[in-house]
Amino acid sequence: MSSGQATARTASGVKVPPPSLLARALPAFSGTTGLVIKLVLLAVVNAIGLWALVALLADESWIAALCVLAATLAIDAVYLLPVRGLIPLKFLVPATVFLIGFQLIPIIYNASVAFSNWSTGHNLTKEEAIQTIEEASLAQPANGAFYTMTPARDESGNLTLLLVEEGSGKTFAGNEDGLEPLAASDVTVANGAITGAEGYHVLQGDELAGIDEQLATLVVPAGGKTFVRAEGLSTALELQPTLRYDPTRDTFTNIETGVVYSDNGNGAYADPQGQEIDQGWRTGVGFANFKDVFTNPLVRDPFVSAFAWTFTYALLSVVFTFFAGLFLAIALNHPGLRFQRFQRSVLILPYAIPAFLSLLVWRGLLNDDFGVINNILPVDVPWLFDPFWARVSCLLVNFWLGIPYMFLICTGALQSIPGEMTEAARVDGASSLQVFRKLTLPLLLVAVAPLLIASFAFNFNNFNAIYFLTQGGPYGEHQSVAGATDLLVSYTYKVAFQTGRGGDYGLAAALSILIFLIIGTISAITFIRTKALESMA
């Protein structure tokens, strides 16, 4: 960057090197320019805060609104108040905001889902559910009337439905008070619909736009339990409820059969036989989802088998790719090697191709009957359709994908081991193997151990590598939700979207928390042991 700059000369003629980019950039952030940048950024933060505040107040989420207000004011205070003690906070606040936004909130949200029954049929609040059930219970009575409808206003401006009954052709005017017959002489009918009526103003064009809500909710009593309601802008029909909600007892009663549906404590109304009404609501269920994972064989068995495979998969992937990568790195690190750069580039290629592409290619190559591998090699291995071989395939492909990465980091780490040390060891009479085992490997591990842990965690959750290759299949005879190659994470995905009535987010969230705990524990233990390694070195 600075090579293009002319070298500055002082008055005395002494050459001074041009200042670094950072040094030149810093002044831009102080003085007036800096102040303006700061104020603009701060104003953006304030505007976002204000927007959130307005939205939250409109939603009547008082506590959240208060938090947003406090946070926004605090940020303003940190950057505007000229207090020395606040200077460290200026650096901490952005990091904290991102930590809360991208880490804490998702974790808290996930945890709140894990303790709920959120799933298909339990997606609403209780109030919404009651409304939805009432709406879904409306039915057309036997021989119920159907009308062609024209929205209009009467002389005092009340919304009125001008109706022509289908079949009989009788005309009515309906409003909140009820249906009233209209004399045929008072109305003009064209194409089966009223286009004008004595004493009424027919609404047209733009006038229709404003009345939508009124029109949709206008209920015209039509005798007994039935009423007439608009369906769209040009039809109306007679409806009657089949379920009646009793707010004092919090029950639904079937008007015809008298069956009572009461709150069953699991976010649904159920009859005495336990038959639930389709629409339920989200509610807390305590540790039920976690209990399910350990006690319900339907959840537990796939979980246990997926866990065993996931652990094996991640461990073997890391161990094998690390040693293969290390071997290649050492081999290619040899000083006398020809075409060293070319060979290194070729090895890195699998890492440079998007993984999902190479996974799909591998799926084609490995196909049992049509794949290149079985057709060219003198073998007939059921690569993808036998549970055991499918696991082998997943591992092999993952090795292929992972070795370049390990090769890269090992090459880097090898460069950082001072040559003098190995040379000294040689002089002291150590064999190549001894040098590698006692010197190179421990020094290398200090540098790469954290990356190995990260790689383990990555492979533990390597959704793509499984989903694009086998989709978790094949399924053994006694396997249900999780197939032979399903990792915990793809099993969780299937629980969330493909089981029961089409999705159990509560259970899936509980599973993802368990996965987090497992990886967290394994990582923590390994990190502690790495510390020991470091002190040894």
- Interface region with another protein, contact rule CB under 8 A, candidates 225-233, 345-353, 425-433, 523-531: 225-233
Q: Which is nearer to another protein, 43 or 533 (CB)?
A: 43
Q: Is the peptide bond before 474 cis (omega within 30 degrees of 0)?
A: yes
208 forms part of the interface with another protein (CB under 8 A): yes
Residue span 53-82 as binding mask against another protein, x where in contact by CB under 8 A, dash where not? -xx--x---------------------x--
Closest CB to another protein among 53 and 332? 53
162 binds another protein (CB under 8 A): no
Query: Smaller CB distance to another protein: residue 211 or 518?
Result: 211
Cα–Cα distance, 362 to 467 (Å, whole number): 12
The reply to whether 253 sits near another protein by the rule CB under 8 A is: no
Give 69's contacts (C-beta < 8 A, 6+ positions apart).
Answer: 49, 53
Is there binding between residue 48 and another protein (CB under 8 A)?
yes
Among 8, 21, 25, 43, binds another protein (CB under 8 A): 43
* Phi-psi sector, 409: left (phi>0), alpha (psi -120 to 50), beta: alpha
- What DSSP letter does each residue of 283-333 carry, written as one string? -B-TTHHHHHHHH-HHHHHHHHHHHHHHHHHHHHHHHHHHHHHHHHHHHHT
Among 146, 399, 400, 463, binds another protein (CB under 8 A): 146
Q: Does 251 bind another protein (CB under 8 A)?
A: no
Q: Are 301 and 475 in contact (CB under 8 A)?
A: no
CA dihedral (42, 44, 45, 48) in degrees, to 10, reads 160
**Quick check: 216 binds another protein (CB under 8 A)?**
yes
Calpha distance 440→445 (Å, rounded)? 9
Subset of 267-326 contacting another protein (CB under 8 A): 275, 277-280, 298
Six token digits for residue 500: 């029961």
* 278 versus 423: smaller Cβ distance to another protein: 278
Task: Give, in order, the Cα–Cα distances in Å from 203 to each of 47, 133, 161, 388.
Answer: 42, 32, 10, 71
Angle at 212 between CA 208 and CA 213, to 5 degrees: 155
Question: In the bound complex, what is the minimum distance in angstroms from residue 102's beta carbon to another protein?
Answer: 18
336 is an interface residue for another protein by CB under 8 A: no
CB of 395 to another protein, least distance (A): 16
Which residue do the tokens 């042991």 mark? 529
For the chain, how long is the longest CA-to-CA vector? 120
165 binds another protein (CB under 8 A): no
Q: According to the binding rule CB under 8 A, does residue 128 interact with another protein?
A: yes
Report the alpha-carbon distance of residue 537 to residue 444 in Å, rounded: 10
Min CB(34)–another protein separation in Å: 11
Q: Out of 215, 329, 507, 508, point to the residue binding another protein (CB under 8 A).
A: 215
Q: At residue 305, what is the residue type? A: S
Binding piece for another protein, criterion CB under 8 A, among 19-27, 86-94, 229-237, 318-326: 229-237
Which runs of E-coded beta strand occur in 362-420? none
* 161 binds another protein, rule: CB under 8 A: no
Contact between 121 and another protein by CB under 8 A: the answer reads: yes
In the list 126, 231, 253, 400, the residue contacting another protein (rule: CB under 8 A) is 231
Among 20, 140, 158, 431, binds another protein (CB under 8 A): 140
* Closest to 269 measured CA to CA, from 134, 140, 115: 134
Radius of gyration of the chain (CA): 36
How many residues line the site for another protein (CB under 8 A)?
89
Complex with another protein: residue 207 or 423, whichever CB lies closer: 207
Tell me: does residue 209 bind another protein (CB under 8 A): yes
Task: Identify the residue among 319, 497, 527, 534 touching another protein (CB under 8 A).
Answer: 497
Based on the shown chain and the rule CB under 8 A, indicate whether residue 501 belongs to the binding site for another protein: yes
Residue 108 within binding range of another protein, rule CB under 8 A: no
303 exposed, middle or buried (CB, 10 Å; 0-12, 13-18, 19+)?
Answer: buried
Q: Is 141 near another protein (CB under 8 A)?
A: no
Task: Please state the closest distance from residue 354 (CB atom) to another protein, in A.
Answer: 18
| 129 touching another protein, by CB under 8 A | yes
**Token pair of 424 as six digits:** 């000294």
Q: How is residue 84 annotated by DSSP?
A: G
**Amino acid identity for residue 468 in this structure:** F
CA 131 to chain centroid: 28
